[in-house]
Amino acid sequence: MSKRLTDIICPFCGTLCDDIEIDVSDDGKQILEVYNACAIGSEKFLHVQSPDRITRPRMKQEDGSWNEITYDEAAKYTAKVLCDAKKPLMYGWSSTSCEAQSIGHMIGEQVGGVLDNTATVCHGSTLIAMQDVGIPSCTLGEVKNRADRIIFWGCNPAHAHPRHMSRYSIYSRGYFTGKGSKSRKIIVVDPRPTDSASLADEYIQVEQGRDYELLDAFRAALKGSPLPKMIAGVPSEKIYELVEILKQGRFVVIFFGMGVTHSLGKNHNIDMAIALTSDLNNYTKASIIAMRGHYNVTGSGQVLGWQFGFPFCVDLSRGFARYNPGETSSNDLLMRGEVDGCLVIGSDPGSHFPIGSVKKINAIPTVCVDPHMTPTAAISKCHVPVALVGIEVGGSCYRMDNVPIDSRKVVDPPEGMLTDAEFLDLVLKEVNKIKGDAK
Amino acid sequence: MTKININLISGRTIQQGVSMEAGKEKENYMTSCGLIELDQADIHQLGIMKNTNVRVTSKFGSVIVKAILATQGPHPGLGWIPMGPWANMLVDSNTYSTGTPTFKGTAVTVEPAENEHVLSSIDLVLKSCNDV
């Protein structure tokens, strides 16, 4: 016998699909089948019961082998690493709950750490642009119900956010978009003709790294200004034609991704995309939304924002919050050799930072809080496996459009395993003991 | 030996996502991300059969990956390695005061390396860190 749990939240990407259904065994301990999730989400749910899962904290020995320790010992070691460091880096936070983040931030305040999340290698430049020029935005519900012109700029939702198109942006049938994809015109701008481009009405093959020029050309065309024959590999007639399609729409939404944030120009590319959105509002309604990756990277920005006023790379080492991307951001700190202790939680910089920065993490005492074996765990001195948020413990998460959603518990974690929040609580107590002793 | 100079970008693929969630220490992660997607024209210019191992080198590092035919193309002159440790062996850490390294638009050289092996994610990162 099995029972079906409904309205489960998928803890993979920023789309935070909230319609997942899961069959669990009668005793509620095993996931049998996952419905409605994409291939990546399904794998995430099913992987929790992998037989080779690491279930206890462990310390790396001289010879590279691992020695099992208790959670208390791991918490003591973590607290010592953070308290001994002059400028500890506390990185990640995007695959855990807002509740765990807030405990981590208390630790950060006590130890004078730098709190940075995965936006630093993702939509950090978007956040800078938003602070520079503001952002006209909306919720994904409004997109579903109202948007009839969708632009995917430098993003490939077919691969990165597999259900985004069916739930919100192309195929979904909303109040004013009852004909689904037939109600909408889809435009994809990307240097590669991606699988998302194959679903579009119009595909524009921009020259890689020339997004700024093309966005600027869209703005000029919108104002009726003359253009050179070719801009960023795109003929000007095409740009004029697309601008007309946008002006005739009732509601234009631009979704953008790493194609613009990771290419040179970075935040300035997004400044221009936001300015285009703003200009479009002279003709019709237009909004712009960042395609956020981790399921709670948006939440980390929110919690840091409430508590310290800045959405990422918050430096507390002087006893007050400082924020200066390029100076207080993880990769810059690592490359300059400024951090001397590291806590990684809810992310994997070992896989997703340039190798130059990974070597620096390897050279300092690092604790990795992660349910699985990853390259970050491999270069850490201490690896602390924890229960997965959204599968083995509930918690607050923020969708890519800044809508908070409570994730739900589906099954129990392996016996004796702590959650992120419980482990960070232990670390905070140890930090308080050390700091108390110091006083 | 033939070498070609191309522009490299990286990003997500659905295979990268699925294999990542199934375990980054597993072989499937390596076969999903330890590769470079090259345009037909670039494979021809390189003078190799598809599914041959190649060495990709930038100013910032070098890595062995398997060259496959672009699954989302054509895009002559543009190489694609799915996001992960293999792509990050080649990426410039410089953030130009934004905090974000320049993951896209890396100038790389590709050359055949039939007799070299693609390393697993863990081995690749450990080896690179211990080679300092």
CB B98 to CB A372 under 8 A?
Answer: no
CB B101 to CB A357 under 8 A?
Answer: yes
A154 contacts A264 by C-beta, under 8 angstroms: no
Of all residues in chain A, the percent with pLDDT exceeding 90 is 98
pLDDT at A1 over 90: no
Min Cα distance A307 → chain B (Å) is 21
pLDDT, tens digit (0-9, with 9 covering 90-100), for A124-172 = 999 999 999 999 999 999 999 999 999 999 999 999 999 999 999 999 9
pLDDT at A330 over 60: yes
* Nearest-angstrom CA–CA distance, A79 and A92: 17
Q: Which residues have a Cβ under 8 Å from the Cβ of A300 and sit 6 or more positions away?
A: A93, A94, A98, A101, A117, A118, A119, A312
Residues of A in contact with B91 (CB under 8 A): 354-355
CB hemisphere CA count around A215 (13 angstroms): 27
Residues of A in contact with B60 (CB under 8 A): 354-356
What token pair was written down for B21?
């969630």
A324 contacts A338 by C-beta, under 8 angstroms: no
Q: Which residues have a Cβ under 8 Å from the Cβ of A56 and sit 6 or more positions away?
A: A68, A69, A70, A385, A416
pLDDT, tens digit (0-9, with 9 covering 90-100), for A60-119 = 999 999 999 999 999 999 999 999 999 999 999 999 999 999 999 999 999 999 999 999
CB A40 to CB B14 under 8 A?
Answer: yes
SS3 B109: strand
**Residue with token string 């019961």:** A49
Residue to test with chain A: of B6, B7, B12, most A Cβ within 10 A: B12
User: What pLDDT does residue A9 have?
Assistant: 98
CB B9 to CB A191 under 8 A?
Answer: yes
- pLDDT confidence of A3, banded at 50, 70, 90? very high
Q: Which of A161, A120, A113 is nearest to A353 (CA)?
A: A120
Count residue pairs from A and B with Cβ separation < 8 A. Answer: 196
Min Cα distance A284 → chain B (Å) is 32
- Other CB atoms within 10 Å distance of the CB of residue A75: 25
Phi, psi (deg, nearest 5) at residue A380: -90, 160
Q: Which of B36, B11, B33 is nearest to B22 (CA)?
A: B33
Residues of A in contact with B61 (CB under 8 A): 355-356
CB B13 to CB A264 under 8 A?
Answer: no
Report helix angle A297-308 to A98-111, nearest 10: 50
Rg of chain A's alpha carbons, rounded to an integer?
23
Residues of B in contact with A193 (CB under 8 A): 72-75
* Nearest-angstrom CA–CA distance, B51 and B49: 6
Q: Does A315 touch chain B (CB under 8 A)?
A: no
Of B24, B85, B93, the CB nearest to A356: B93
Residue to test with chain A: of B62, B125, B130, most A Cβ within 10 A: B125
Which parts of chain B have pLDDT scores under 70? 132
A48 contacts A388 by C-beta, under 8 angstroms: yes
pLDDT, tens digit (0-9, with 9 covering 90-100), for A383-417 = 999 999 999 999 999 999 999 999 999 999 999 99
- pLDDT confidence of A28, banded at 50, 70, 90? confident
Min Cα distance A359 → chain B (Å) is 5
B66 contacts B35 by C-beta, under 8 angstroms: yes
> How does strand A20-25 pair with strand A31-35?
antiparallel
Residues of B in contact with A116 (CB under 8 A): 99
User: What pLDDT does residue A438 have?
Assistant: 57
Question: What chain B residue is nearest to A122 in terms of C-alpha separation?
Answer: B100
CB A208 to CB B88 under 8 A?
Answer: no
A90 contacts A108 by C-beta, under 8 angstroms: yes
CB hemisphere CA count around A108 (13 angstroms): 30
Strands (E), A30-118: 31-35, 58-60, 66-68, 89-92, 114-117
**Please, what's the b/e burial string for B31-65 (b: 16 or more CB within 10 A of its CB; e: otherwise)?**
ebbbbbbbbeebbebbebeeeebbbbbbebbebbb
User: What pLDDT does residue A131 have?
Assistant: 94
pLDDT, tens digit (0-9, with 9 covering 90-100), for A280-310 = 999 999 999 999 999 999 999 999 999 999 9
User: What pLDDT does residue A103 have?
Assistant: 98
Residue to test with chain B: of A332, A370, A379, A388, most B Cβ within 10 A: A332
User: What pLDDT does residue B1 have?
Assistant: 72
Question: What chain B residue is nearest to A264 in terms of C-alpha separation?
Answer: B102
A207 contacts A233 by C-beta, under 8 angstroms: yes
In whole angstroms, how far apart are CA A332 and each of A114, A322, A350, A379? Answer: 12, 15, 15, 19
CB A208 to CB B78 under 8 A?
Answer: yes
Beta partners for B112? B54
SS3 A8: strand
- DSSP characters over B8-70: EEEE--HHHHHHHHH-TTSHHHHHHHSEEEE-HHHHHHHT--TTEEEEEEETTEEEEEEEEE-
